[in-house]
């Protein structure tokens, strides 16, 4: 770990650090743990993160702007191509690339491809071996060596962490800050993300769908918050549309006598109320938009812009 001199400690450092890696390596869990707030939704389903989520970590001598990117994978539709493009385009834009890997499993082809992209970008890169809580102590150094050998990259450091158990996260933050240039505070100290409330609300609803459904349903779901209106007695009315690709998926989401959609709404409402700091009335409805993941009009409406 790089140790700062006393002179360096006096300087204010700021910059952008990207969290990149395959799906399900724990990037979103890590982002939430680092900033101390839930900004990115989490599940064990691939492609949970579909946008580049910005999270701001403020320290007395530094400001770190984290960019949590979608997990890179082999795309099967236009949405998948967009997700990969977001991650690829982020790597050369930042001051530091944090390559997050799942240390509980051996490196795969996906890890090797991402390592090549990082090497080609030529940006300072930090290898973050996550899920330390799942790695037997006797195998730790072997795991670290396997991931370090993926590509000829001069890593600024290699650190094992557990985002879930917050293990070594203080050390991780110190390493990241030491790699950033001197610079201004880009965002106000009380700001933790640039995402609008409607986006976060939609993501919280989608997270509950991911947690409560199986098989092909989670991948085929998108959420749009269409209305947020204050009403009497401090209650905020929120109406959200859940998109699916087939009638059968709509039936699963609604459930027998509406039990599934009711459960999704109840779980989401609790977190949205915490986000807004007020009571809400949440209305959810489901619409079939056949093959929406391959239709540019829907992708644009959902915020996946024209980069595909």
Query: In this structure, are 175 and 206 located in the same domain?
Result: no
**Cα–Cα nearest to 189, from 100, 76, 297, 64:** 64
**What's the whole-model pTM score?**
0.79
pLDDT digits 0-9 by tens, 86-128: 888 899 999 999 999 999 999 999 999 999 999 999 999 999 9
Query: In this structure, are 264 and 120 located in the same domain?
Result: no
**Phi, psi values for residue 20, rounded to 5°:** -125, 155
Contact 237, 227 (CB under 8 A): yes
Q: From CA 184, how far away is CA 15, in angstroms rounded? A: 9
The answer to the question of residue 35 being in a domain is yes
Q: From CA 284, how far away is CA 57, in angstroms rounded? A: 33
Q: What is the CATH number of the domain that holds 138?
A: 3.40.50.300
Share of the chain above pLDDT 70, in %: 89
The answer to the question of residue 138 being in a domain is yes
Count of helices and strands (H, E) across the chain: 10, 9
Contact 207, 200 (CB under 8 A): no
Query: In this structure, are 34 and 142 located in the same domain?
Result: yes
The answer to the question of residue 208 being in a domain is yes
pLDDT at 236 over 50: yes
The 10 Å Cβ neighbour count of residue 75 is 16
Contact 131, 112 (CB under 8 A): no
Q: Is residue 274 helix, strand or coil? A: helix
> What is the domain extent for residue 50?
6-179
Q: For the chain, what is the domain count?
A: 2
Query: In this structure, are 68 and 135 located in the same domain?
Result: yes
Query: In this structure, are 56 and 163 located in the same domain?
Result: yes
Q: From CA 199, how far away is CA 220, in angstroms rounded? A: 18
Query: In this structure, are 29 and 135 located in the same domain?
Result: yes
Pick from 104-108, 188-192, 213-217: least confident? 213-217
pLDDT digits 0-9 by tens, 12-29: 999 999 999 998 899 989
Query: In this structure, are 160 and 241 located in the same domain?
Result: no
Q: From CA 60, how far away is CA 13, in angstroms rounded? A: 10
* pLDDT the model gives residue 71: 80
pLDDT digits 0-9 by tens, 270-304: 999 988 889 999 999 999 988 888 888 888 887 76
pLDDT at 45 over 60: no
């Amino acid at each position: 770990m790089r140790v700062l001199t006393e002179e360096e400690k006096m300087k204010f450092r700021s910059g952008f650090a990207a969290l990149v890696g395959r799906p399900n390596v724990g990037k979103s869990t890590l982002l939430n743990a680092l900033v101390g707030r839930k900004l990115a939704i989490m599940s064990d389903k691939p492609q949970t993160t579909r946008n580049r989520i910005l999270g701001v970590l403020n320290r007395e001598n530094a400001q770190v702007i984290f960019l949590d990117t979608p997990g890179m994978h082999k795309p099967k539709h236009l949405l998948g191509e967009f997700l990969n493009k977001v991650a690829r385009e982020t790597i050369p834009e930042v001051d530091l690339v944090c390559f997050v890997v799942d240390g509980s499993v051996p490196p795969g082809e996906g890890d090797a491809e991402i390592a090549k992209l990082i090497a080609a970008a030529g940006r300072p890169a930090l290898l973050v071996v996550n899920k330390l809580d799942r790695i037997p102590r006797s195998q730790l150094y072997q795991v670290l060596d396997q991931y370090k050998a993926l590509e000829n990259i001069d890593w600024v450091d290699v650190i094992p962490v557990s985002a879930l158990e917050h293990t070594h996260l203080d050390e991780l933050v110190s390493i990241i800050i030491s790699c950033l240039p001197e610079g201004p505070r880009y965002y106000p100290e009380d700001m933790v993300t640039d995402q609008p409330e409607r986006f976060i609300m939609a993501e919280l609803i989608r997270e509950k769908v991911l947690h409560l459904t199986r098989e092909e349903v989670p991948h085929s779901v998108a959420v749009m918050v269409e209305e947020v209106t204050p009403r009497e007695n401090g209650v905020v009315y929120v109406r959200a549309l859940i998109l699916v690709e087939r009638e059968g998926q709509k039936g699963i989401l609604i459930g027998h006598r509406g039990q599934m959609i009711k459960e999704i709404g109840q779980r989401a409402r609790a977190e949205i109320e915490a986000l807004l700091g007020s009571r809400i009335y949440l209305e959810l409805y489901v619409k079939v938009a056949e093959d929406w993941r391959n239709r540019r009009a829907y992708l644009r409406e959902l915020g996946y812009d024209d980069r595909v």
